[in-house]
Amino acid sequence: MPRPIVALLTDFGYRDPWVGMMKGVMLGINPTLQLIDITHEITPQRVCEAAIVLSVAYPYFPSGTIYLVVVDPGVGGARRALVAETANHIFIAPDNGVVGPVLEGTGVRRVIQLTNDAYFRPQISRTFHGRDVFAPVAAWLSRGVDVGAMGQAIDDYARLELPQPRALANGTLEGELMYQDRFGNFITSLSEAWVAQQWGPAPWAAVAAQIENYVIHGLDSYYAQRPPAELGMIFNSWGFLEIFVNQGHAGQLTGVSEGTPIRVWQDHAGKNFCRTSLDG
């Protein structure tokens, strides 16, 4: 039989032993586990950032994967701990909305509040539920324990809406810079699929974008099409419009940050058209 997979996503980083402790707890319960790191470099306590990363990462994992998500600024307080089951996956997380977008997008079968301490570690720290609650629950589920055994079913789990774009009557599209990657690129809330719903199928002529005082002309198909140190835009591997600087850092060049609005339009009177793989 295939070895069960637990995919981890946290804001713990790698300097401290937190991730290693969680993995040790899980392997002590199920030594056959495959433990996969999605990332441990979420900005500390940024629940929305974690929700974005989870939303774009989980579709690439096999059916049956268990996702262990610990970005938990409310640890030790009144917030609940959850396990949620969809048709193909299981998600374990604090009830702070971090798995809300995935559940709303995939169709949730059941959500269980984690209350059965038979599946927790004997001593529970008020500051580290990742090790003492979430990790052992993930390991027991990987051994075939039913989700329903973990506690009581609920339907009022926290929802979290990711930034949504909007279309104006004149065809202009508005969104925001919702995520900055380690290269300094900004991923916007404008997905290629959504843009196609508004403008019709690509190619689109004379695409332009504005972020504060910066205007970008032309849609690139790969990074090096844009001259070095110049702002460009591209639909990236996530399927979202991305603002980048070829061989540079968009955040440092512009001084803007996540949450900044962006406007995108088709300048039919302009001379800057969508770039293709044949463009210089």
Residue located via tokens 């981890």: 8
pLDDT in tens, 178-195: 999 999 999 999 999 999
When pLDDT is cut at 50, 70 and 90, the band that residue 204 belongs to is confident
List C-alpha distances in Å: 91 to 138, 172, 274. 9, 37, 40
- Copy the structure tokens of residue 8: 């981890």
Dist. CA 167–CA 87, nearest whole Å: 32
Q: Residue 134 has what DSSP assignment?
A: I
1 pLDDT exceeds 70? no
277 pLDDT exceeds 60? no
Would you give the end-to-end CA distance of the chain in angstroms?
51
For the chain, list the domains and their CATH numbers. Answer: 5-154 (3.40.50.10790), 166-266 (2.40.30.90)
Q: What is the helix, strand, coil percentage profile of the chain, to 5?
A: 25, 30, 45
Dist. CA 54–CA 38, nearest whole Å: 8
When pLDDT is cut at 50, 70 and 90, the band that residue 201 belongs to is confident
pLDDT in tens, 39-58: 999 999 999 999 999 999 99
What pLDDT does 206 receive?
A: 87
* pTM (two decimals): 0.91
The SS3 call for residue 271 is coil
List C-alpha distances in Å: 82 to 14, 96, 139. 25, 10, 15
